[in-house]
Amino acid sequence: MDPSSKQGKEQPISIYQGHALIVTTVVGVGVLYMQRGIAQTAGADGIWTILLGGLLAMLELYILTKLLQRFPKQHSTVWMPRLLGSEKRSGVGKILALPFFFAIALFWISASALACRTFGEVLVTAIFPLTPMSVILLTLLVTAVFVASTPVEVIARFNEFLLPVLYLPVILIFAVWAKEGEWLNMLPLFQLSWKEAGLGILVSFFAFSGSSIVFAFMGYYQQPEKAVKAHMSAIAVIILIYWIVTAASVAVFGPDELKRLMWPTLDLVKSAEFPGMILERLESGLIAIWVVAVFTTLVNLLAALIDIIVRLFRIQDRSRKWIGLALIPVLYFLAIWPKDIQDLFFWNWIVGVYSPLVSITVGLILLAIALLRRKKGGDPHVPTPPTS
Amino acid sequence: MRRRRERTKEKKLQERSQKQLQDKVGDRKVSADLEENIRFISQVLGDGADLITRKFTIQYAPDRQAALLYLDGMSNVPLLDNFVLRPMMLQGEQVKNKTELWDLIFESLLHTGETKKQTEMRSMVESLLSGDAILFVDGCTEGAVIGAKGWQQRGVTDPKSESVIRGSREGFTENLRVNTALIRRRLKDPDLRMKNYKIGVRTNTNVSVMYIEGVVDDAVVKEVEDRLKSIELDGILESGYIEEMIEDTHWTPFPGIQNTERPDAAVANLLEGKICILVDGTPNVLIAPAVFSQFYASPEDYYERYLIATFLRGLRLVAFLTALLLPALYIAFISFHPEMIPSKLAIAMAAGRASVPFPSIVEALVMEISVEILREASVRLPGPIGPTIGIVGALVIGEAAVSAGLVSPLMVIVVGMTTISSYANPSYNAAISVRLLRFPFMIVAAAFGLYGIMMSLMILLVHLIQLRSFGVPYMSPLAPLRISDVKDTLIRVPWPWMKKRPVTFRPGDDRREGET
Amino acid sequence: MFPLLRPVRGWAVLCMLLALTGCWDAREVEERTSVIALGVDAHPQGYEVTVQVPNPLKVVGSGGSGGGGGEGGQAAVQLFTGVGKTLNDAMNEIRNQTNQRIFFGHTQLLMLGDQMARKGISGMLDALRRQQEIRRRQWALVVKGKAKDAMKASPKLEQIPMEYMVYLIANGVREGRYSSEGLSDLYSNIFNPGKQPILNFIEAEPEKVRWLGLAIMNKDRMVGLLPRKESQVLLQLRDEEVGESFNTPCHKRGYIVFQPQGLKRDVRIQFQGIRPVIRVNVDLRGEIVEKSCDVDLSRDPVIHALEKQVRRRYEHLAQTMVARLQKQFRTDACNFGNRVRAYYPQKWKQLDWSEAFSQADVRVNYHVKILRIGLEAK
């Protein structure tokens, strides 16, 4: 029996679930290494560039949210063709909408494949030095696809349930900071030239990729009118998480050692020692818990991808899992594409740049068209076609 | 699910279960000839050895023969002797008219409360089979059904599987009526509804559905009733039959319906807007819909102080995780992450395992399976020696296995902790699913360590989130999160703060106070 | 859909996993040769690595197959030694001697022979930093003589010799007498341009282990040993540790002994041109734990006089120590440079700190307060 057809009524995404979706998608494998890039470009000043980068990410998501709020309770695959095409010939609009979907979906698929590979690299360096990468990639991908091909409401609840789990390592890192951090390591501040500062802010900004999943999920929101608050608070939470991680790394290692650490967060946890610890070393534990963060990122990106495909090509909702299965080889191929770890970080960087680029471009273009053509979502009472 | 609901519409339970009788009895009416009636009944029952047929003469009308029929052991014999046979046989004065006599019997000769005139032979047979006595009088085309159900039954005793320190000592019995009375006595609410069904084509088991009108979600009532009506089975011997016939999905180790032996628990659930399904012949009452968290709550949580109850709930969560994950974690730590164990312990573990010839997964599987066998055996063992054998098995065999070098001492601790933790769960059917799930976790841990455990937890979580019980998401109120309901899941707040019913079950009337 | 296939699929996956168990990275704890202490010495060829491995069955209390009392000292451990041009080369030689995979996840002590430390340890540390198994949180010590010989020490109070040394250091750190810096701090001190590492320096004899002082490092190279008494002052200036009890001659014959209990340190740095002027104020509170001269401690003036005396002694010692750092070691072990880096980034960029430090005008002022005089009232 197909789980999606079990109960007739589609339950749309609540506002808190929307918040959780953003947080869990953006917070992922990046937290394990992004401080290094920030320290390399901004040194100790990463402590504040990350905040400004976060504000940029807020702006990005704000544009998207404002755009999507014009079409409440409508799936992107419904309103975008209507916006782009004429009333009479919907086919034109659909064809015109395709490049936009393709641009966004390209980010989703490459970001999920790279997240998978990056986490695979973490696992290989930290726990499984002898296990073949293919096995790790496949277990991650198959499980993620299994979860991602469940109905959207299940995905939303899944994220909602796991959101608090993401806070646990952050609390641990905060404790390490309090115990091992040195105030002097965070100084001197404001030593950057304007150019360096700009670069530092951009690098920090690129760590916030993934909010474009709202294109897939915002059509399911129960109360899209409250989305701005939920989304902004989500980015605020992410900024807080990133800031704690970055500041803790700078305070504990100092920018100079931080630049040299491959996975600084792991080393951060390695430096932790608390009296009466049952477990002596926590990095395997951290990785195990961080599976949750990586996994939710993967699942959300894939679910968004599958959802768009299903809706765009009017495929039966029951076939989500077959689409997911069909995606596995593509994802696997993309995941093994980077030759080595340097190449991987290069591609991560490219995707990190691509993500805000594409969402801001697409968002602004569509918003401009919507404003020019004075289009708004039709009757808000017309729900999206139910999935079953 | 869909197929089942379609079927529901076309057939009605009552028709089907009576079809059997219909075939034999047809729509035959009570005949005026006494002998013919008696012959017919005994023929329908196939000359049943337990059919008692008492023919007698009514003192009022000595010319008129009468017969009282009942099934031996099913009816209250002293009642029939004293209040049916004695007045009819001893009270004098003659009556001429036939119909007068029949009226007189009802007016003054039958000294029992529940009496009914009946012309349909079919319903008379039904009543007979459910323990009532039937009375035929020669020359009357009507019979009487005398409510005299009274078979040997267990009294109301302690609920065995859900004992508490504080709270009622009464438990449900096998008798449906006693059970409904136990609930009614605690819930003197005119809105308490009770609907009866006869389910099981051959067993004709009485099933009662109870709920509080106005508090319950009507859609769920309808769903429960539809599913009950769709049951096609020849026999219902225990509520477990019903549970499996009406649950949302079979492909899960987790129970979709709660059961309880405690009337107070049943009433508490009714007050939350849930539905109780009582089945004749079993003390286990079904409660639907059920969510995951309620399997980890005990009725006592509501009777003890809230702080203690909250602490106990936390403890049970720890016990749940221990029972599910401890052996898997042992395997993961031993074979993948020894660096996480404190060095001294790691050295001790290495020493303990030095003589063990198997990898930790085999060691753990062997021990866990042995403990499961031991547990199963101790249920079957005759009462007095059960605990003894348990101790012998656990201590002696465990100790011997350690000194023989078959298992490491730590493994024995792990197995012991796991077993004890799974008993900390207040509901047996949820505990048993954890016992089952432990094994996949162990295997995954042996293949991928902590990473594997986390991945399996993800799959388990998504499975739990997908589940529904009568339309209620299984993990609610945690996913989807309903903040107002969390007050009675991981924690229990003081009663004055629980003025609203949980919205999870979509109650018709969500305020606990201020209702009549 | 075939409903029955659902559980079958699940079980099929599990059976496949069952076949996978024990593959690749699964290594039972007893199938690993757990190194608990790692010693590195300089060797004409490059490195000489010695590892200490406990024998679990010989360690008391681990029970095992009913075996009673275990053995302690060197009987409970085995040492392996390997020589090689690189650290991994030397490890390979050890790998060729062990019956199981060698595992560094439990290594708690890194011992460096003083020859090694003087030669420079950055190459060796690189090998350790690249290895995931090596803990960041472990003690790093410099040993007088060879680490290989120190490994052979067999103090009687602990079963595993490594533990004796670890507890020796940990206890001293708790009492504020030794440096608390382990491998993790060594790493960050080496990479932080404003800081210099220090390491505890011990001497190990066959049945005795002794803390001698602090090894002063200039980045990855040891430049000298600071003797015990001066080490206490360094700890006070660098880490705000109280240090051990302190002898002061009375104005009459004999000594009184001051035990510091609380400490506050305040560093002020200014510049005269490019010459740093460093003023350190140390606020010290403590009690008198011993008196062998004839003074009446119940009298305030006496206490004040003693406080002054103690203070002068401390200042003298601190000045000696700083002079030694400036002139002999030319190393800023007090980490004043880190403050300059943090608070005067412009100056920091202009200066060559190691040069500037040796020219710096450093003055240490102590303020001593005697709070208690123990159980004797006089």
Per-residue pLDDT in tens (0 to 9) along chain C, 378 residues: 344 556 666 667 777 776 666 677 888 888 888 899 999 999 898 899 999 998 888 875 544 444 445 666 778 888 999 999 999 999 999 999 998 888 988 898 999 998 899 998 988 999 998 888 888 888 999 999 888 888 888 888 888 888 888 999 999 998 888 988 889 889 989 998 888 999 999 998 888 888 998 999 988 889 989 888 889 889 988 888 888 888 888 877 888 898 999 889 999 998 888 888 999 999 999 988 888 888 888 888 888 888 888 888 899 999 999 998 888 888 888 888 888 888 888 888 888 888 888 888 889 999 999 888 888 887
Contact criterion met (CB < 8 Å) for C345 and A191: yes
Cα of first residue to Cα of last residue in chain B, in angstroms, is 38
Provide the chain C residues 340-359 that lie in CB contact (below 8 A) with chain A.
Answer: 341-343, 345
**Angle CA B424–B426–B431, to nearest 5:** 75
Q: Where are the alpha helices (DSSP H) in A127-185?
A: 133-148, 152-180
Give whole-number Cα distances, B304 to A89, B200, B266, B295, in Å.
68, 41, 18, 18
Query: Would you give the DSSP letter of residue B393?
Result: I
Q: Do the beta carbons of residue B206 and residue B220 sit within 8 Å?
A: no
State which amino acid sits at residue A364: L
Nearest-CA distance B352 → chain C (Å) = 5
Q: How many residues are there in chain B?
A: 516
Residue B21 confidence (pLDDT): 61
Distance, in Å, from the CA atom of B313 to the CA atom of B307, rounded to the nearest integer, reads: 10
Residue with tokens 């409903």: C3
- State the Cα–Cα distance between residues B243 and A149, nearest whole angstrom: 29
pLDDT of residue A108: 92
Closest Cα to residue B245, out of B261, B266, B224, B262? B224
DSSP string, A261-302: -SSHHHHHHHT---TT-SSS--HHHHHHHHHHHHHHHHHHHH
> Would residue C197 be called left, alpha or beta, if left means φ above 0 and alpha means ψ between -120 and 50 degrees?
beta
Per-residue DSSP letters for C191-212?
HSTT---EEEEEEEETTEEEEE
Query: A87 pLDDT band (50/70/90 cuts)?
Result: low
Region label for B103, one of left (φ > 0), alpha (ψ between -120 and 50) or beta (otherwise): alpha
Judged by a CB distance cut-off of 8 A, whether residue B346 touches chain C is: yes
Q: For residues C21 and B108, which has the higher predicted lDDT (pLDDT)? A: B108
Of residues C56, C106, C133, nearest to B354 (C-beta): C56
CA distance A302 to A312: 15
Number of structural domains in chain A: 1
Q: Please check whether residue A379 lies inside any domain of the structure.
A: no
**How many separate helices (H) and strands (E) can be counted in chain B?**
18, 12
CA atoms of C276 and C261, how far apart (whole Å): 31
Per-residue DSSP letter, B200: S
What do you get for the CA distance between the two ends of chain C, in Å? 95
* Measured distance between the N- and C-terminal CA atoms of chain A, rounded to whole angstroms: 13
Per-residue pLDDT at B515: 46
- On whether the CB atoms of residues B252 and B430 are closer than 8 A, the answer is no
Give the CATH number, domain containing residue A36.
1.20.1740.10
Å between A83 CA and nearest CA of chain C: 40
Question: How far apart (Å, rounded) are the C-alpha atoms in residues B338 and B284?
Answer: 46
Which residues, 6 or more positions from B376, have their beta carbon under 8 angstroms from its beta carbon?
A: none
Residue at A205 is within a domain: yes
- CB pairs below 8 Å between B and C: how many? 106
Q: What is the Cα–Cα distance from A148 to A155, expressed in whole angstroms? A: 7
Closest CA to A257 of A33, A29, A40, A31: A40
Strands B275-279 vs B258-260: parallel, antiparallel or unpaired: unpaired
Query: Which among B449, B458, B480 has CB closest to A143?
Result: B458
Domain-located, residue A52: yes
Cis peptide bond upstream of B480, omega within 30: yes
More confident residue, B31 or B184: B184
Distance from C-alpha of A370 to C-alpha of B405, rounded to nearest angstrom = 76
C positions 246-305 inside 8 Å of A (CB) = none
Number of H helices, E strands in chain A: 14, 0
Distance CA A358, CA C97 (A): 58
- Under 8 Å CB pairs connecting chains A and C tally to 60
C-beta separation of C149 from C102 below 8 A = no
Q: What is the pLDDT of residues B227-285, one digit of tens each?
A: 998 888 888 898 999 998 898 888 888 998 999 999 999 999 999 889 999 999 899 99
Distance CA B319, CA C276 (A): 62
CB C337 within 8 A of CB C195: yes
Say how far apart CA B401 and CA B395 lie, in whole Å.
10
Measured between beta carbons, the chain A residues lying within 8 angstroms of C187 are: 257
Nearest Cα to Cα of residue A220 among A155, A317, A127, A292: A155
CA distances B356 to B379, C30, C53, C70, Å, are 31, 10, 21, 19
> Which 448-467 residues of chain B touch chain C by CB within 8 A?
449, 452
Q: Is residue A102 part of a domain?
A: yes
Name the nearest CA neighbour of A367 among A68, A76, A98, A58: A68
Q: Sketch the domain layout of chain B as residue ranges.
A: 31-146, 176-290, 306-472
Arithmetic mean of pLDDT, B333-356? 86
Pairing of strands C46-54, C37-43: antiparallel
Query: Which of C18, C29, C104 should be substituted to probe chain B, the one whose Cβ sees the most B Cβ atoms within 10 Å?
Result: C29
Strand C246-249, strand C255-272: pairing: antiparallel
Set of chain A residues whose Cβ sits within 8 Å of the Cβ of C191: 253-254, 256-257, 260
**CB within 8 Å: C343 and A187:** yes
Within 8 A of C54 by CB-CB distance, chain B residues are 347
Q: What domains does chain C contain, in order, with CATH numbers?
A: 29-226 (no CATH), 245-378 (3.30.300.210)
Kindly determine whether residue B454 and residue A280, on different chains, have CB atoms separated by under 8 Å: no
pLDDT digits (tens, 9 = 90+) for B225-239: 999 988 888 888 989
- For A7, which of B468, B478, B479 is closest by C-beta distance? B468
3-class DSSP state for residue B372?
Answer: helix
Q: What is the pLDDT of residue C22?
A: 60
Residue C315, CA distances (Å) to A21, A244, A347, C233, C284 in order: 62, 41, 59, 9, 12
Contacts C193 to A, Cβ<8 Å: 256
Beta carbons within 8 Å of C162's beta carbon, 6+ residues apart: C36, C37, C52, C77, C108, C109
Measured CA to CA, the distance from residue A126 to residue A133 in angstroms comes to 13
Judge whether A130 and C132 are in contact, CB under 8 Å.
no
Percent of chain B past pLDDT 70, that is, above it, reads: 93
Contacting residues of A for B342, CB less than 8 Å apart: 277-280
CA atoms of B138 and B140, how far apart (whole Å): 6
pLDDT in tens, A292-330: 999 999 999 999 999 989 888 888 888 888 888 889 999
Write the pLDDT tens digit of every residue in A198-209: 888 888 888 888
User: Domain range holding A78?
Assistant: 30-372
Residue A132 maps to a domain: yes
DSSP designation for A353: H
